[in-house]
Amino acid sequence: MPPFSRVTVIGLGLIGSSIARGVRAHMTGVGLTGYDADPQVRETAKAIGLCDDVADSAGAAVTDADLVILCVPVGAIGDAAREFAEDLPADAVVSDVGSCKESVVTALREALPGVAIVPAHPVAGTERSGPEAGFAQLFHNRWCILTPPADADPLAVERVAEFWKRLGADIEMMEPAHHDRVLAVTSHLPHLIAYTIVGTASDLEEVTSSEVIKYSAGGFRDFTRIAASDPTMWRDVFLSNREAVLDMLQRFSEDLSALQRAIRWGKGEELFDLFTRTRAVRRSVIEQGQDDAREDFGRAHD
């Protein structure tokens, strides 16, 4: 039996719509209600039959839910929760999928005092957003990190974990603060750097934007994919996980300066040693099933 029987998804973008599709694919019989602040998104969700029901308000969406998952940008989670706080059944569990957890835990606790809260973060995504970008397999073989507060009801945690397992994910538990530092390095810093380099490249004068795009297959195009991620989502992530991001950025900058010096002074051995070490990291990523083993991400050639 599925761990919940009436699931409500608030925010029907990439992640919310992937959850909805995953519930349909893997938990037949479970009732599915959706809500999104954006009327257009609600229209689209209805048109593509994403949920059994798309409600016109957050309150109406949760009235008979036993699980409510907030899939909105992290900066909007507190407000989104407040919107349905009065209508939430007493025994409902509330979860979310936010990319940072300390700020989210605080916001949820403030907005929903006394409610069973089990924050979660599925480490999976693409550069797309919106209700049509989702797909049921997004979470297959990916990690979903739960960061329950120390006083969380173990049964609620167990049920949320089981929910994500059914969506295909593997579960890990973490302290919110540690989660935020791990993700600062594995996700937030990479995005920040990709955004920066794509910005730098398009602001040059002697090299035109059209040249940058034309010859992007030399490596730059990989960065453009990440830098195409949702602006609202990522603005919120950087503002919410500020301390950890700035700290990781500081370390990155120091390492970059060291490399800059190595190039300036022609220290080939130093470069070679680093490039050999990083190659080994790639091997581990593939051995642990975290990326496509095929070259070039398995990109189609012809």
Ligand X SMILES: NC(=O)c1ccc[n+]([C@@H]2O[C@H](COP(=O)([O-])OP(=O)(O)OC[C@H]3O[C@@H](n4cnc5c(N)ncnc54)[C@H](OP(=O)(O)O)[C@@H]3O)[C@@H](O)[C@H]2O)c1
Q: Which is nearer to a copy of itself, 89 or 298 (CB)?
A: 298
Per-residue binding string, ligand X, 128-167, x by CB under 6 A, is: -xx-------------------------------------
Q: What is the DSSP string of 202-260?
A: HT-SSS-HHHHHHTGGGTHHHHHHHTTS-HHHHHHHHHHTHHHHHHHHHHHHHHHHHHH
Alpha carbon 181 to its chain centroid, in Å, reads 15
Task: For the chain, give the number of residues.
Answer: 302
Q: For residues 19-38, which are near ligand X according to CB under 6 A?
A: 36-38
Q: Does 110 bind a copy of itself (CB under 8 A)?
A: no
Q: Which of 30, 41, 45, 92 binds ligand X (CB under 6 A)?
A: 41
Main-chain phi, psi angles of 31, to 5 degrees: -75, 140
How many angstroms separate the CA atoms of 12 and 223, rounded? 26
Q: Which does 71 bind (CB under 5 to 8 A by kind): a copy of itself, ligand X, none?
A: ligand X
Residue type, 129: S
CB atoms within 10 A of CB 248: 20
Positive/negative CA dihedral, 279, 200, 128, 300: negative
Q: Does 94 bind a copy of itself (CB under 8 A)?
A: no
Q: Does 173 bind a copy of itself (CB under 8 A)?
A: no
Q: For residues 122-151, which are near a copy of itself according to CB under 8 A?
A: 123-128, 133, 135, 137-138, 140-143, 145
Q: Does 66 bind ligand X (CB under 6 A)?
A: no
Q: For residues 229-258, which are near a copy of itself according to CB under 8 A?
A: 229-232, 234-236, 238-239, 242, 245-246, 248-249, 251-253, 255-256
Residue type, 197: I
Q: For residues 220-259, which are near ligand X according to CB under 6 A?
A: 230, 232-233, 237
- CB distance 192 to 248 below 8 Å: no
Residues forming contacts to ligand X in the complex (CB under 6 A) are 10-16, 36-38, 41, 71-74, 76, 79-80, 97-99, 121-122, 125, 129-130, 230, 232-233, 237
